[in-house]
Structure 1
Amino acid sequence: MSTPLAVQLYSARDRLADDRAGVLRRLAEIGYAAVEPFAPTDDPAGFRRIADDLGLAVCATHATGLMRGEDAAEIFDAVHTLGTELVIVPGGIPREEFATADGLARIADRLNGIADQARARGLRFGYHNHDHELEYIVDGRHALDVLADLLAPEIFLEIDTYWAAVGGADVPDLLRRHGDRVRLLHVKDGPVVRGEPNVAVGEGEIPVEDYLAAAPDAWRVVEFDTCATDVLDALEASYRYLATLDRSGEGA
């Protein structure tokens, strides 16, 4: 694995609101060397100063605001300030739009338009799934597969492996199908039940090694949607587990 392990900062969103510098320092002390913000316009210059001081790279950033009518130019400026070229939409689309071919065509039109705007600003644009893109079947295929065919080829995918499993996908097969288009993986673990909290990676029902082996070149980003224990402790346990896999050559 050539890229360092990263954390989607949404995992620690409540702690970040109280002590951003302290949370980032703890992640760096654990051993993480990259982070993925979720609110790029929230003081990007200040965030970048702290991250640089701690040696934390920004692997990508989520930007739901691109689907919610927020100022795209402001978002793209913030992405540049954060020091990444990868901007990702992780939501903001009504679930029911994924249920039909017409809905998927409308989604693709919107995403392709945003990709054009991002490209004009020197950025690369990606899409992040949840469970419904795999749960809905359109013309005999997962909605995510149909959508991917409608997206401009330069739009990359960030596959949330846990949500894909919750949605009913054969996750290794999904990852192999999309190959190099999968630039990043959200790595998480748990009981594979919607609404139940995540657990530290390696402590749940997810066959983590199989998922990583199916997308060996994708950037690994640990995330917790919810966590029943202290999330920073769980992120530390996740790091130790994934670092052990890398040292042993598994999942690589």
Structure 2
Amino acid sequence: MKTRRGFLKQLSIGTLGMGMLPTLAWTNTNEQQFGVQLYSFRKAMAKDPLMTLQQIAAIGIKEIESARSKKGLYYGLSPEEMKTACVDLGMTLKSGHVALDDNFQDTMEQAVASGQEYVICSSMPSRGQTVDNYKKVAEAFNKAGEACKKVGLKFGYHNHEYEFESENGQVLYDVLMDNTDPDLVHMELDLGWVIVGGKDPLDYFKKYPGRFPLWHLKDMNMKKRESTEFGKGGLDIKTLMRHQEASGVKHIFIEQEEYASTPIESMKHNMAYLRNL
């Protein structure tokens, strides 16, 4: 494990080598801050989390959402180490993808130690595609939200495409929305998976205004049903960005799981795309 002093020394040297300051020259406090879901860099984070965070910071990312891996919630770093690394690089660890399972108490304790605000259940804890199951899950989410609120955290849920399937004319995601307490369950809407599921995010902004404090901004190749660089897929990013207020979004995390070349080059493209909107 690298020491913090060693990491800072490495950062100082690496900054000069990467030309970090010119890269960051365009950012300022008046611009919208964008985050990234670290699953986008999953292989690099597993190999060298500190150096990967440095590279992420160098392209202007300001907020981080972690994702659990085989090495734990923070890719082998302790919660405190993850928090410190982000702060040293001018970023904020804002959220984390977790599982709602028997280890959830430990998950909450680690999240508190890391200083993050949100813990987001990354997928359905049970995959029964029925209204009854989604009502049961909604009840479990409300209880998890209560537990998180007691320790100063906010609980949420991240969708995929399957939640937009229907049973007896009822869209299952809508069942989840209608049976969760907005004060306890904070939805992270993955915009890419919404359109793959055959729905329009704008319709959800209208039906459930203010219910989506977090976004996953993810363009999608609709033929392959996989993520792609911004502007290359079926997501109308420009229109969605004009409807942030209706959705209630506070934090926008870019996520990309497949790449034209490398994750860092794709993320540079995505950031440049957002700058030019």
TM > 0.5 fold call = yes
Spell out, residue by residue over 1:121-172, the C-alpha distance to the aligned partner (whole angstroms, 9 max, x if none): 11111111100011x1134332111111111221111000001111111221
- Report the residue type matching 1:141 in the other structure: Q
**Does the CA-based 8 Å contact 1:173-1:214 persist in structure 2?**
no
Q: Give, as a single letter, the amino acid of the residue that structure 2 aligns with 1:116.
A: E
Q: 1:237, 1:209 → 2: CA distance?
A: 15
Task: Give 1:1-252 correspondences, 5 Å limit.
Answer: 4-39=33-68, 40=73, 42=76, 43-64=78-99, 67-70=100-103, 72-95=104-127, 97=128, 99-134=129-164, 136-154=165-183, 155-193=185-223, 195-196=225-226, 198-216=227-245, 217-218=248-249, 219-245=251-277
Q: Relative to total residues, which structure has the larger helix share, 1 or 2?
A: 1
Q: CA deviation at 1:203?
A: 2.3
Contact 1:33 1:57 in 2 (8 A): yes
Structure index of larger Rg: 2
Deviations 1:66-115 (A, max 9, x none): x2322x232112112222221111114233x2x22211111112111211
SS in 2 for 1:156: strand
Contact 1:44 1:82 in 2 (8 A): yes
Query: Which one-letter code corresponds to 1:112 in the other structure?
Result: N
Unmatched segments (≥5 aa) in structure 1:
246-252
Count of matched residue positions in the alignment of Structure 1 and Structure 2? 238
Measured on the aligned residues, the alpha-carbon RMSD in Å equals 1.9
Deviation at 1:3, TM superposition (A): 5.2
The two structures have a TM-score, normalised by structure 2, of 0.80
> 1:248: which partner in 2?
none
**2:6 corresponding residue in structure 1:** none
Q: Secondary structure at the match of 1:179?
A: coil
Q: Is the 8 A contact 1:162 1:192 kept in 2?
A: no
Separation (CA, whole Å) in 2 of partners of 1:215 and 1:138: 30
Distance in 2 separating the partners of 1:213 and 1:139: 34
TM-score, normalized by length of structure 1? 0.87
Which consecutive unaligned segments of at least 5 residues does structure 2 have?
A: 1-29
Counterpart Cα distance in 2 of 1:2 and 1:123:
27
